[in-house]
Chains A and B, each alone.
Chain A
Amino acid sequence: MAPIEQDFAESLLHIFDNVLLTEGMALSKGYFSDLSIAELHTLNAIGPYEARTMTETAKILGITVGTLTVAIDRLVKKKYVERQRDTKDRRIVRISLTRQGKLAYRMHSKFHRVLVKRIMDPLSEDERKLLTKMVGEIDNYVEEQYKKYSNGEQYKRIVRDDTEV
Chain B
Amino acid sequence: MASLKKNPAEGNAPEENKNTSVPEGKDEIYETLVGMLSELLDMPKEQFSPDTEIFEELPLDSLQLYELVVDLESHYEIRIPDEAIEKVHTIQDVVDMIDGAEK
Contact = CB atoms under 8 A, between A and B. Distances in A.
B63 to A, nearest CB: 6
B66 interface: yes
Interface stretch (B8-16, B35-43, B44-52, B89-97): B8-16
Contacts of B14: 87
B62 A103 contact: no
9 tightest Cβ-Cβ pairs between the two chains A and B: A106-B66, A102-B70, A103-B66, A31-B63, A113-B82, A96-B11, A87-B15, A103-B70, A99-B70
B67 A103 contact: yes
Interface of B: 11-12, 14-16, 62-63, 66-67, 69-71, 73-74, 79, 82
Given A87-B15, A96-B11, A103-B67, A110 B82 contact: yes
A107 B66 contact: yes
A99 B63 contact: no
A23 interface: no
B70 A96 contact: no
B12 A96 contact: yes
Interface in A99-124: 99, 102-103, 106-107, 109-110, 113
Contacts of B15: 87
Contacts of A82: 11-12
Contacts of A97: 11
Contacts of B67: 103
A79 to B, nearest CB: 13
A49 interface: yes
